[in-house]
Structure 1
Amino acid sequence: MKLLVVEDDPVIRGAICDLIRHWGHAADDAADGAMGWSMLQDAVYDLVILDLNLPRMDGLEVCRRLRQSSLHQPLVLMLTARDTSADTVAGLDHGADDYIVKPFDPELLRARVTALLRRASRPLTQELAWGALLLDRDQRTAWYAGADLQLTPKEHLLLEALLQAQGKTCSKEQLLNAAWGWSDTPGEESVKTHVKNIRSKLAARGAPSDFVETVYGVGFRMNGLHSA
Structure 2
Amino acid sequence: MRILIIEDDTAIAANLYDYLAGAGYEPEHAADGVTGMHRAANEEWSAILLDVALPGMDGFTLCRRLREQARRDTPVLMLTAKDTLDDKLAGFGHGADDYLVKPFSLKEVQARLAALVKRSTSQVVPNVLRHGDISLDPGTLAVERAGRAIRLPRKCLHLLQLLMASPGRVQRRAELEIAVWGETLPDSDTLRAHIHTLRRALTAEGEPNPIETVHGIGYRMGRSDAP
Q: Same fold (TM over 0.5)?
A: yes
Q: What percent identity do the matched residue pairs reach?
A: 33
- CA offset at residue 91 of structure 1? 0.3
Cα offsets for 1:45-94 (capped at 9, x unmatched): 12110001111100000001011024432000001102111110100000
1:118 is paired with a residue of what secondary structure? helix
- CA offset at residue 203 of structure 1? 7.2
1:19 is paired with a residue of what secondary structure? helix
Runs (5+) with no aligned partner, structure 1:
136-159, 181-197, 222-228
2:196 is paired with a residue of what secondary structure? coil
Supply the RMSD in Å over aligned alpha carbons: 3.7
- 1:1-228 superposed matches below 5 A: 1-119=1-119, 120-122=122-124, 131=153, 133=155, 162-165=160-163, 168=164, 171=167, 173-175=168-170, 201-202=189-190, 207=194, 209-212=196-199, 214-215=209-210, 220=220
Letter in 1 for 2:190: L
1:87–1:28 CA distance, 2 compared to 1 (3 A): same
Paired residues of 2:78 and 2:91 also in contact (CA < 8 A): yes
Paired residues of 1:169 and 1:215 also in contact (CA < 8 A): no
Paired residues of 2:30 and 2:36 also in contact (CA < 8 A): yes
Higher relative contact order (CA 8 A, sep 6+): 1
1:44 is paired with a residue of what secondary structure? coil
- CA offset at residue 132 of structure 1? 5.4
Runs (5+) with no aligned partner, structure 2:
127-137, 142-151, 176-185, 201-208, 214-218, 222-227
Which aligned runs of 4 or more in structure 1 are off by greater than 6 angstroms? 216-219
Letter in 1 for 2:42: D
User: Which has the greater radius of gyration?
Assistant: 2
Partner Cα separation in structure 2 for residue 85 and residue 208 of structure 1:
49
Paired residues of 1:161 and 1:175 also in contact (CA < 8 A): no
- CA offset at residue 161 of structure 1? 6.7
Q: 2:181 maps to which residue? A: none
Q: 1:140 maps to which residue? A: none
- CA offset at residue 131 of structure 1? 1.2
Letter in 2 for 1:42: N
Partner Cα separation in structure 2 for residue 34 and residue 50 of structure 1:
12
Paired residues of 1:162 and 1:170 also in contact (CA < 8 A): no
1:48 is paired with a residue of what secondary structure? strand
Letter in 2 for 1:121: Q
